[in-house]
Amino acid sequence: METKSNDLIRKIQSSMPSFSKGQKLIANFIINHYGKAAYMTAARLGEEVGVSESTVVRFASEIGFDGYPKLQKVLKELIKSKLTSVQRMEVSSNRISEDNIIKSVLQSDMEKIKLTLEDIDTSTFNNAVESILNARKIYILGVRSSAPLASFLGFYFNLIFDNVRLVHTTSVSEMFEQIIYASENDVVIGISFPRYSKRTINALRFGKRRGATVISITDSLESPLAQYSDHSLIARSDMASFVDSLVAPLSVINALIVAIGIRKKNHVYDVFENLEKIWEEYQVYEKHDEHNEHNEAVTQKETDI
C-alpha cells in the first residue's frame, strides 16, 4: 500500500529541478534528515538551512500542503515506520528535557491521550464492540512491545467470555496454527504500532481471507494493519526516545473492556461474585484485617514494655 509519507519524498525529489535555491536547501534537508525536520518549527528549520521562516512556509504550500503543520504531520508518519531505535534516540534527544525527564514524558503521554480522544471515531468503536459481543470466537494477538497490551486485553476478556484465544506468537508457523480455524462469525483483534510487526499484519491478512471480522488497534488509518481491518481503533503512540508510548492505546483498550462489561453487566456481576468466593477460599489476595493489625500492635507494645 502506497502511503502519503512515501509519496512525499518522491514528490520532493521529482520537483527538485523547479525549486528555487532556498527551496532546494529545504528539500535536501528534509530528504536527508526527515526525522529531525518532523519535529522542527518552520523557524527552526529555516535557521538550520539558512533561509527565512516564510520561505519554509511557502515551500510547504509549493508541494501541496495547507500550511507547514500539515507537512510536519506527514513527516511524523514517515519516521514512525522508518527510523531505527538508534535514530529514534537521536530525534527524541531534542524533544525531551534532560533536566526534568519525568515531566517531559508524562506531559507527552497526556498529550497523546488528549489527541486520541479528539480523533477517536465513536461509531467505529461502537461497531467494534458489537462485533466482539456477537463473535463466535475471539482471537487476540500482539507481539513485541504490543504483547503486554494483547495480554491485558486477553486477561479481562477471558473473565467476560468463554470463547477467547490469546495467540502466542513465538514463531510465524505457531501463530498461523493457532488461528487456522478462524472463519466467518469470528473476530480477530490485532495490535501493533510503529515499527509495525509483519507477523501481526500477516495474521490480520489471513483472518480477513478466512472471512473473520478484523479489528485493529493501531496508530493511524495509514497503518498497514488498517487495510485488512473492518474496524480500526486509532490511538496515538508517538515515540518517547527508543520507547513506544502505549499509554493512549491502553486507554482505548480500557474503554473497550469497560464498554463490553457494561453491555454484559449482569453476567460480569455473576462472574466476579463467584471469583470473589474462589479468591477468598484459595487466599489469592492478601487480606487486610484491621482487627488483627490492632492485636499485633498491642502485643508488640506490651513486649516493648
* 202 pLDDT tier (thresholds 50, 70, 90): very high
- Within a domain: residue 97? no
pLDDT tens column, 125-163: 999 999 999 999 999 999 988 999 999 999 999 999 999
* 293 pLDDT tier (thresholds 50, 70, 90): low
- Within a domain: residue 192? yes
User: Cα–Cα distance between 279 and 187 in angstroms, integer?
Assistant: 31
- Within a domain: residue 94? no
Q: Say yes or no: 198 and 272 in one domain.
A: no
Paired sense of beta strands 164-166 and 138-142, if any = parallel
**Which cell numbers in the block locate residue 12?**
520532493
Q: Say yes or no: 259 and 118 in one domain.
A: yes
Phi/psi for 33 (5° steps) reads -140, 45
pLDDT tens column, 188-198: 999 999 878 89
- The count of residues in the chain is 305
Q: Say yes or no: 218 and 275 in one domain.
A: no
Q: Say yes or no: 133 and 246 in one domain.
A: yes
User: Cα–Cα distance between 265 and 121 in angstroms, integer?
Assistant: 24
Q: Say yes or no: 238 and 127 in one domain.
A: yes
- Within a domain: residue 105? no
- Within a domain: residue 273? yes
Q: Say yes or no: 166 and 147 in one domain.
A: yes
Q: What is the mean pLDDT of the chain?
A: 86
Q: Say yes or no: 214 and 153 in one domain.
A: yes
Give the closest residue to 127 by CA, choosing from 215, 52, 65.
Answer: 215
Give the closest residue to 28 by CA, choosing from 12, 4, 41.
Answer: 12
Q: Say yes or no: 152 and 181 in one domain.
A: yes
Judged against a pLDDT cut of 70, whether residue 276 lies above it is answered with: yes
* 82 pLDDT tier (thresholds 50, 70, 90): low
Q: CA torsion angle for 293, 298, 304, 305 (degrees, to 10)? A: 170
pLDDT of res. 96: 60
**Which cell numbers in the block locate residue 200?**
501481526
Instruction: Report pTM.
Output: 0.72
Portion of the chain with pLDDT greater than 70, in percent: 82
Q: Say yes or no: 154 and 288 in one domain.
A: no
Is there a contact between 137 and 186 (Cβ–Cβ < 8 Å)?
Answer: yes
User: Of 82, 106, 138, which residue constitutes the final position of a domain?
Assistant: 82
Question: Most confidently modeled of 34-43, 95-104, 292-301?
Answer: 34-43
CATH of the domain at 161: 3.40.50.10490
Q: Residue 165: which domain range?
A: 114-263
Question: How many domains would you assign to the chain?
Answer: 3
pLDDT of res. 3: 47
Q: For the residues 194-217, what does the mean pLDDT come to?
A: 94
Q: For the residues 154-174, what does the mean pLDDT come to?
A: 88
Q: For the residues 57-78, what does the mean pLDDT come to?
A: 89
Q: Say yes or no: 128 and 231 in one domain.
A: yes
User: Cα–Cα distance between 178 and 168 in angstroms, integer?
Assistant: 8
Q: Say yes or no: 119 and 249 in one domain.
A: yes
CATH of the domain at 13: 1.10.10.10
pLDDT tens column, 85-115: 555 555 555 556 667 788 888 888 898 899 8
- Within a domain: residue 45? yes
Question: What's the burial of 181, exposed, middle or buried (CB within 10 Å: 0-12/13-18/19+)?
Answer: exposed
Q: Say yes or no: 227 and 291 in one domain.
A: no
- Within a domain: residue 22? yes
* DSSP run (H or E) holding 145: none
- Within a domain: residue 104? no
Is there a contact between 185 and 135 (Cβ–Cβ < 8 Å)?
Answer: yes
